[in-house]
A and B are shown apart, each in its own frame.
Chain A
Amino acid sequence: MKWKYSFIHICMISLICLLVCQMPLKATTIDIPPTASKAIVFLLDASNSMNSNDRERLAKDSIAQLIYSLPSNYMVGFVAYHTDIVSSVEMVDNSGRDSIMEAANSVRYTGYTNAGAGLTRAVELLSTVDATEKTVVMLSDGEIIMANDEATIQVTNQFQTAVSQAGENDISIHVIGLGSEMGNSSNTIFSASEQTNGRNYHAPKAEDIQSAVDSILLEQLHIKKTTAAIVDTGGGIDELDITIPTKNATNARILFISDSPIQNLKADFNAGNVRQVSGTHYTLLELSHPSSEKIHVSFQGNEGSQVKVDVITEYYITMNPQVTYEDMEPVEEDATHYERTAQIDISFCDTENPERQVLMDSIFEGKSLSGTIDGQVWSGSLKSGIVSIIPQHHIEKNQTLDIVVDFENLETNVIVQQPLAVALEGAPELPVSDYRPVVIGVGIGILLVVLLLIYLVVEHKRRKPRTISDPPLPEPSKYDYTGRLNIYITQTKSSRDVPPLTYNLFRIPGGKVLSLQEILDGCDVSEPMEGAGRIYLKAGAGRCLVLSNESDCTIMQNREILLKGRSYLIGLDSKVDITFEDEMTEMVLQYREVRPNEIRNYAHT
């Protein structure tokens, strides 16, 4: 069974490897802000003497080691010289570093040592880019030697001039002196570093270049990298578990450097993207947005050789300031503003994915950060991915603070736009004893109350009996009206006496349905009679009246209550008693006959 598992395992790894190889080797393109941009030029001495000092061509591996260890914000250039400049690669960004390695691999060691032309060229290259930090790393195995002294002097002078130019342009020159000849620290080449705040490193043997490059990376360029492993290979397959110390890094570079070829590299990882660059003595795995901390790799090296595995992580972040203010009553009596203190907290987010906060890993927790705030030094510590800047007191007016954060203390490379401009709002003014708003407010309040009262009074006066949707009118009658109505309002809500009223029905067209309210309106009765609008009268057969009650009034005839929704006949000379919906107003309706001679009398009058 064991062989079955091994087979499956190998298949998977192979598949992964295949996938890795099939992936386009395309570096992640990141727009580096100018303020975060840095530039470096590798200046290689390719004179004939290097053949003796660097038989194994280890210098090329060192170039690879250097340029692949640099974070993405480094622009890289390459110049190789002997009698003259033999190779020169323009400044390239992170994605173009392979071209430098191609150029370096094509260089042959031969000719004299025209370091003047080389350095001049390097300075020229650096002058073509806009970067906050410019560096020349120069690898040379000896003094400037040309075909004749005159030329030598000329080149030496040119070299000096270039050094001066570098000094003027804040270009640091770090020199790796290879071979015993460079043991003398006072040679012309080494003097370049002295004049440009650079540093000399002496590598007696070619194998020592690697450590010199390491030193430059760590000490001079402050590149954060960790050495994950140093493996002494036995010629077989070596397996290795590499841990990326930080999660959520934008990029993680795993650089395998060996003095012998590295073969059959296989890796098992999770990342958004990957790029692999392999040289003779080095292999680079560049993981974009690695999502797992563990990377399993296997490779094969030559027996007796050593493989060094470096891990370089980098964060490309955006700083998000959060300002909280605390306003205090000032002690001074003549103060016009509050005493304002601003607390600035800065959190860090991935530039490509601003919603994702970074630097929240446990290894960053409690790490101290420092920097400047408007030139003033500050320090703080990361807590849950947030650093608190020292409180800013006496914020009197609107202002903008430039905050620079130094991530030196973190074990990772941080690419960030610096400085961070934080706008602070000035302290609000102290409240002045101004009563105008109070007066205006009270005035508006009184006005509203008066309007409300007027509205209530008008509503009260205008108040009418409850508006219930009127029931449908009874059907018109086919009979004619004959008599008259005697109306006696026996009780009113207002206790006013209403004189007896008479309403002549015989003058009304027969088909018309009358509401009691219409009749009262016809008699000019101003007293409100709730429900009168829903008591209907129409002519009935045999000189009768038909009364339909659709109201909630109590209507009585002959000690019988006339029900709502029903119609009743009112005969001649009979009466109905109505108590209206307000339960106060009462009325007697008497239906009387009008004889034809009386009608004639009416007509006459």
Chain B
Amino acid sequence: MTIIDQTNRTLLLEEINPEKLDLLTLIGDVKGIDSLSDDKIKEINQHLECRSYEEFQEKFAPCIYSFFDANSQAVKYTLKKPENISDSMLTEIPLNQSNDFLKMLFTLMESKKSQGVLNVDFGFENLLDMISPKKVMDDIRQVRKEIRYNYAKYAELEDGDPAKLDVGDKLNTLFEEASNNYNNVMAMLPLAIEDIKTRLLLGSGDQKGSNNQIALGMLTMGDKGELKVLEAPKQESTALATLDDNINTGLVAALEEDYQAINESPSDYVQSLVVRTFCPLPSTTQSKIDVPTEVANYNSYLQFYKNAKDDFIKVVKPLVEKLLGIKMFFDQYKCKTKGMIPTLVVANLKPEMLAKSSSLPTLHAYLNTVNSKNNFKNTIWYAIFPNLSITLQAGAKLRRERFAGNVHKVNEDVNSLETLSCLLDVLKDYRIETFFSFEPREETTFNAVAAEGIQKFIDRCEPLVGKSYSEFAIPCLPNFTVIPKNKSGVTLDKLMTISEDSTTAQLSEAKEDVMRLWIEGVYINAAYIAAGFRAASQCPEYLKDHYRRLKVDSELPGVRYDVEAGNHALCTRTTMPKEITGFTNSIKDQINRKNFGWIFASENAVLDGQDITQITVYKARNLLYDPDKSTYEPAYKTQVTTYIERILRHATGDFKQDNIVQFFSNNPKSQKSLWLAKKDCVNAVLEEGDNLDYTIDEGTGICDLTIYFDGNARNLEVLISRISSK
């Protein structure tokens, strides 16, 4: 019987959406109590526990708030809901799959994964322009095509036909999607930009050089057989040929009615913009174009859009990086048969809030409830602590800054080492291993580590070494790069110029008129991936998927799974695509000399004749330093110790002396014997060369348990219970 069926529940020490409930709020007052009720735990799970990114997205609905500042004539963004602004003046922009920026990043990562090319070779620009108005319009075009098709069908079918109702359902969905933009001027901007562009630059799209106003005509053959384009009789100016006026008329009426019904303050301009956007082939509604006004509008729209997008990205980037990290945490668990799915409990609090003296007793009460019981369903095994600040050394002292250089802004969204040590001190009491990584910036990526080595990270972790909690601290590096800083430019569009006679417009060719914004690098904290990977490798099904030829026990968790051993790192890889060509030997020597940290590698490797295109785990160590060997201890040892202690407590009825003896006996049914019987499994608790031994000190009542990991002893002391019925 499986006693512990999960060993990968992870606590995320990060704030996602301040408007949603958080761990401290849910726990409430813990004065005079040591633990929480089952109902409370259930409520916490209901609000904070996620088993997939989608569930996370649904529960935390990450969003950003925007409002317009009349003074600066600009749109402002904020992650925290402004308390002094009424809801009617605030626009909540959900950061979900339909958000162009997040969608672009997800697409980018997926395509990188599928292509398996390094950052240096990847065409970031191709994907980055996904947030340009043109790409937005492309998406809308797809929508409107469907609208038009479905509306035509809808119009054709007779009333009462059941098929008409089905089409009606589809149309409702499409209109709902389209109507999301009605109220949002920011969402309408790319539409307006593309609309003006379409109307003003009609005919110039593919045929460069002519700025003359066109006169629509018909291709005919002349009397002598020559081809002629004859100007068609001018029924309506700048009107396209009418295909099906009835359908258009009905669709226009439907869109206008929908806009009027939904919008609180309808505007004729926006209404016609909506109509033009989603019903682009009107034959009778086209009006004469005021070219100079339209050009001015276009330019201001584009400028405004660029600024707003720029601001939006700057503000949303830290949150998006968290979302990417969470997505990557879940993404690590790729297996066909779902078994021990990694679970993430999101504290939804800034770590510094949690590390306050007033909050720690609350955290204690929660962890005491989930981790100090013989029911291991809710036990937290891991924690993720991202964004640890890293003090950067100032560059060479300049007497004068001749050129604009990097401004080393102090990142305000980072967590301090003191906060980490406070939390580690608590988490270690509940034997929770904490994956922490450094703030995501260029200096903590593969590129930087490959160039500079890991000494600065070792130095930074020095205060955490030699402490009682060192065993539970796992420094993860380097951070992953989604968009490198030097390839983060996005070209939105070009400004428009007007001809001298003010009748035609064309896109400017001037370099300064190219509207371009810089995303300035998007990174993912390594801790998410490390925790995700470790959580995934706990699942027997996951291991089975990766070790088809080796024996994997269906019940045992992968607590003893040493990713460093043998080819394990190649067999079980992260889902992250390789970023660089690899570390130099000297860097790897530096890493191996002390076996520091949980280090990912972007190495060129081959497994079973296949190139490895993903990033692998190179080192999996915590900060427990063994001075005898001058090396840091592997992380798995801690978890095995924890696992055995918990199993022992459970199996021996809280360390009853008689049961301990039974536990370690050579009886084939004893727990030790059962483990040893499975030592050839990949996920064996005791592998070949491992052993368990114990001595009981009758005087002190302490059972000294020694776990030998391939000959290396690890001690575990438990206080035995002498309460016996005998």
- Report B-chain residues with C-beta under 8 Å of the C-beta of A588: 360-361, 364
- Report B-chain residues with C-beta under 8 Å of the C-beta of A543: 719
Tell yes or no: A270 within 8 A of B by CB: no
Tell yes or no: B337 within 8 A of A by CB: no
Tell yes or no: A604 within 8 A of B by CB: yes
Binary contact track A174-218/B, C-beta < 8 Å → 1, others 0: 000000000000000000000000000000000000000000000
B33-54 contacts to A, CB under 8 A, are 33-34
Is B32 a contact of A490 with CB atoms below 8 Å? no
Is A605 a contact of B467 with CB atoms below 8 Å? yes
Tell yes or no: A329 within 8 A of B by CB: no
Tell yes or no: A399 within 8 A of B by CB: no
Give the distance to chain B from A509, nearest Cβ to Cβ, in Å: 18
CA distance A598 to B372 in the complex (A): 19
Q: Which of B418, B425, B719 contacts A502 (CB 8 A)?
A: B425
Tell yes or no: A231 within 8 A of B by CB: no
Q: Which of B34, B356, B357, B418 contacts A575 (CB 8 A)?
A: B34
Is A500 a contact of B360 with CB atoms below 8 Å? yes
CA distance A490 to B372 in the complex (A): 23
Known: A543-B719, A573-B368. A500 touches B422 (CB 8 A): yes
Is B715 a contact of A499 with CB atoms below 8 Å? no
Tell yes or no: A488 within 8 A of B by CB: yes
Is B34 a contact of A596 with CB atoms below 8 Å? no
- Report A-chain residues with C-beta under 8 Å of the C-beta of B422: 499-500
Tell yes or no: B236 within 8 A of A by CB: no
Tell yes or no: A38 within 8 A of B by CB: no
- Report B-chain residues with C-beta under 8 Å of the C-beta of A502: 425
Q: Which of B31, B429, B466 contacts A592 (CB 8 A)?
A: B429
CA distance A170 to B357 in the complex (A): 118
Is A597 a contact of B717 with CB atoms below 8 Å? yes
CA distance A499 to B355 in the complex (A): 9
Give the distance to chain A from B308, nearest Cβ to Cβ, in Å: 39
- Report B-chain residues with C-beta under 8 Å of the C-beta of A577: 31-32, 361
Is A596 a contact of B702 with CB atoms below 8 Å? yes
A115-163 contacts to B, CB under 8 A, are none
- Report B-chain residues with C-beta under 8 Å of the C-beta of A601: 466-468
Q: Which of A498, A559, A596 contacts B32 (CB 8 A)?
A: A559
Binary contact track B502-538/A, C-beta < 8 Å → 1, others 0: 0000000000000000000000000000000000000
Is B357 a contact of A498 with CB atoms below 8 Å? yes
Beyond A490-B361, A588-B364, A597-B715, list 12 extra A-B contacts (CB 8 Å).
Answer: A497-B356, A499-B357, A499-B422, A500-B360, A558-B33, A573-B429, A575-B364, A577-B31, A588-B360, A596-B702, A604-B466, A605-B467
- Report B-chain residues with C-beta under 8 Å of the C-beta of A557: 32
Binary contact track B456-467/A, C-beta < 8 Å → 1, others 0: 000000000011
Known: A556-B32, A560-B32. A490 touches B357 (CB 8 A): yes
Is B361 a contact of A488 with CB atoms below 8 Å? yes
CA distance A577 to B32 in the complex (A): 6
Is A556 a contact of B31 with CB atoms below 8 Å? yes
Is B468 a contact of A602 with CB atoms below 8 Å? yes
B373-432 contacts to A, CB under 8 A, are 418, 422, 425-426, 429
Is A488 a contact of B34 with CB atoms below 8 Å? no
Is B425 a contact of A596 with CB atoms below 8 Å? no
CA distance A352 to B360 in the complex (A): 99
Give the distance to chain A from B93, nearest Cβ to Cβ, in Å: 35
- Report A-chain residues with C-beta under 8 Å of the C-beta of B358: 488, 490-491, 497
Give the distance to chain B from A362, nearest Cβ to Cβ, in Å: 96
CA distance A499 to B360 in the complex (A): 10
**Closest A residue by C-beta to B364:** A590
- Report A-chain residues with C-beta under 8 Å of the C-beta of B418: 499
Give the distance to chain A from B109, nearest Cβ to Cβ, in Å: 39
CA distance A598 to B471 in the complex (A): 11
**Closest A residue by C-beta to B715:** A597
- Report B-chain residues with C-beta under 8 Å of the C-beta of A386: none
Tell yes or no: A489 within 8 A of B by CB: yes
Is B425 a contact of A500 with CB atoms below 8 Å? yes
Is A573 a contact of B372 with CB atoms below 8 Å? yes
Is A489 a contact of B357 with CB atoms below 8 Å? yes
Q: Which of B33, B357, B425, B717 contacts A595 (CB 8 A)?
A: B717
A573-605 contacts to B, CB under 8 A, are 573-575, 577, 588, 590, 592-593, 595-598, 601-602, 604-605
CA distance A595 to B718 in the complex (A): 8
Known: A500-B422, A558-B34. A575 touches B361 (CB 8 A): yes
- Report B-chain residues with C-beta under 8 Å of the C-beta of A593: 719
| Residue with the highest number of chain B CB atoms closer than 10 Å, among A489, A490, A543, A573 | A490
**Closest A residue by C-beta to B717:** A595
- Report B-chain residues with C-beta under 8 Å of the C-beta of A488: 357-358, 360-361
**Closest A residue by C-beta to B33:** A559
**Closest B residue by C-beta to A575:** B34
B319-372 contacts to A, CB under 8 A, are 355-358, 360-361, 364, 368, 372
- Report B-chain residues with C-beta under 8 Å of the C-beta of A605: 466-467
Nearest 5 CB-CB pairings of A with B: A556-B32, A490-B358, A588-B361, A559-B32, A488-B357
CA distance A592 to B418 in the complex (A): 21
CA distance A228 to B349 in the complex (A): 128
Q: List 10 A-B contacts (CB under 8 A).
A: A486-B364, A499-B418, A499-B422, A559-B33, A573-B429, A577-B31, A577-B32, A588-B360, A590-B361, A593-B719
**Closest A residue by C-beta to B368:** A573
